[in-house]
Amino acid sequence: MTHPLILCSKSEWAPPIRREHAWATLAAQHGHEVTFVERPTDIRALRQSSPTCYLRRLWRAELAELVTSRLRVYSRSALVPGHRNAFGAITNAALLRPVLEQLGSAEASIVFSWPWDWPAIRRVPARRKVFDMADDWGELMPGRRARFGRYYDEIAAEADEIIVVSPDLERRFGGRRPLLVRNGVFERTLEGPFARADSGTMIYVGTLTPRFDSNLMLQVLKRLPDWRLELVGGCQYPGLGAAPSEDLRDLLDLDGRVRWHGPMSREAVIPLLDRATVAVAPNRPERSLGQDSMKFYDYAARGRPIVSTRWFDIAGSDHPPHVLLADTPPEFAEAVLVAERQSSVDAMDLRTWAARHTWTQRWPTWSAAVFGSSA
């Protein structure tokens, strides 16, 4: 049995590399009619796009892309980001509700990732309303924990299901026990051939935010003068839109040894991963609570040695094998040199681990929660 699915995403559709993209793609492949609602563009879009287009999308979503006959992508507008303040949250809900009424029906399941979308979603008819939580928003945005906590309380009391990516997030919903469905890897990322790595190349794949420790990587590169760093991902720094932060600019200015590619499709990222000697995850621990890093799955799928800061509980989490942990610049630089000597057996262990964690394997649990067990 199939049902319509509306995904209120925290991302644009392109490039389709995130958790919500995997669910949308798999749902369409299983015969569900999928409506993917992109994160809204806010008033800052007027600097680059037509005012007419922006204003038209305030009250009505517009078809942006027909991906397949069962997967449609819609764009919408907002005044200001809903997380920023009470005005942003209220206006976001007021503008999202008519979009959901336009695109949805009482037979549709609605999945959302932003807690401030809940005031709109709770007021529209739907088969099921499901919160799919991949980030601890109260921890990511200092000063907003109490406000987001009120959203979590409402969601815990009223949503049909809550799905979280890590056990750390289960504590946010009082006495209710969410369903744990971790991130995964796309099967095509596991497919060969595997290119020979270049020497002296680190790679980071992921959105560049305050979570990424630019200062640490700057000091690591100064200690490894023969190494370079490839950065793949867009920027999301508070108040800067898609622009780099000051500390990231300092890193990018390091003698041409750091190359920033911006957002890329997985097909384009795979050759870069294969040529990298070591893959890194220099997360700031205080910005990484509740994370289940998708980059770990991608790194492991290509058999890349991994060096990370200690932002996760290595004893209590399901993580790739052979990960080296380091926090200070001297430790991290030394770990990179050790990782460079990873054996082919270690690489196969990483690929084997990734093959046990594909999105396809996650799908039955996730879809039962979203559409109901009978579906």
Judge whether 251 and 258 are in contact, CB under 8 Å.
Answer: yes
63 CB-near residues (< 8 Å, 6+ apart): 72, 73, 74
pLDDT at 361: 97
Of 237, 220, 240, whose CA–CA distance to 229 is shortest? 220
Of 273, 262, 258, whose CA–CA distance to 185 is shortest? 273
Judge whether 153 and 176 are in contact, CB under 8 Å.
Answer: no
Identify whether residues 212 and 318 lie together within a single domain. Answer: yes
Residue 229 sits at φ, ψ, to 5 deg, of -130, 130
Sign of the Cα pseudo-torsion (119, 123, 126, 129, in order)? positive
The 10s digit of each residue's pLDDT in 33-60 is 999 999 999 887 767 767 888 888 998 9
Identify whether residues 319 and 365 lie together within a single domain. Answer: no
Cis peptide before 305 (omega within 30 of 0): no
Given the DSSP bridges, would you call strands 161-164 and 62-68 parallel, antiparallel or unpaired? Answer: unpaired
Q: In angstroms, rounded to a whole number, what is the distance separating the alpha carbons of residues 203 and 113?
A: 28
Identify whether residues 74 and 9 lie together within a single domain. Answer: yes
Identify whether residues 176 and 207 lie together within a single domain. Answer: no
Identify whether residues 179 and 198 lie together within a single domain. Answer: no
Residue 98: give its domain's CATH number: 3.40.50.2000
User: Please, what's the b/e burial string for 81-118 (b: 16 or more CB within 10 A of its CB; e: otherwise)?
Assistant: bbbbeeebbebbbebbbbbbeebbeeebbbbbbbbbbb
Structurally, the chain folds into a number of domains equal to 2
Give 354: exposed, middle or buried? Use CB within 10 Å, 0-12, 13-18, 19+.
buried
- Which H helix or E strand runs over 164? strand 161-164
- Which H helix or E strand runs over 230? strand 228-232
Q: 3-class DSSP state for residue 350?
A: helix
Of 105, 134, 25, whose CA–CA distance to 72 is shortest? 25
Identify whether residues 169 and 191 lie together within a single domain. Answer: no
Identify whether residues 344 and 207 lie together within a single domain. Answer: yes
Identify whether residues 33 and 125 lie together within a single domain. Answer: yes
Can you give the residue range of the structural domain that contains 258? 187-355
Identify whether residues 342 and 217 lie together within a single domain. Answer: yes
Identify whether residues 159 and 195 lie together within a single domain. Answer: no
pLDDT at 147: 86
The pair of structure tokens assigned to 119 is 């005031």
Identify whether residues 73 and 222 lie together within a single domain. Answer: no
Share of the chain above pLDDT 90, in %: 73
pLDDT at 141: 72
pTM score, whole prediction: 0.93
Given the DSSP bridges, would you call strands 34-37 and 71-75 parallel, antiparallel or unpaired? Answer: parallel
List of the chain residues with pLDDT < 50: none
Q: How many CB atoms lie under 10 A from the CB of residue 15?
A: 17
User: Please, what's the b/e burial string for 154-176 (b: 16 or more CB within 10 A of its CB; e: otherwise)?
Assistant: ebbeebebbbbbbebbbebbeee
Q: In whole angstroms, what separates CA 221 from the centre of its chain?
A: 26
pLDDT at 174: 84
Identify whether residues 146 and 52 lie together within a single domain. Answer: yes
Q: In angstroms, rounded to a whole number, what is the distance separating the alpha carbons of residues 374 and 361?
A: 19
Read out DSSP for 195-223? PPPPSSEEEEES-BSTTB-HHHHHHHHHH
pLDDT at 53: 85
Judge whether 35 and 4 are in contact, CB under 8 Å.
Answer: yes
Q: In angstroms, rounded to a whole number, what is the distance separating the alpha carbons of residues 163 and 313?
A: 20
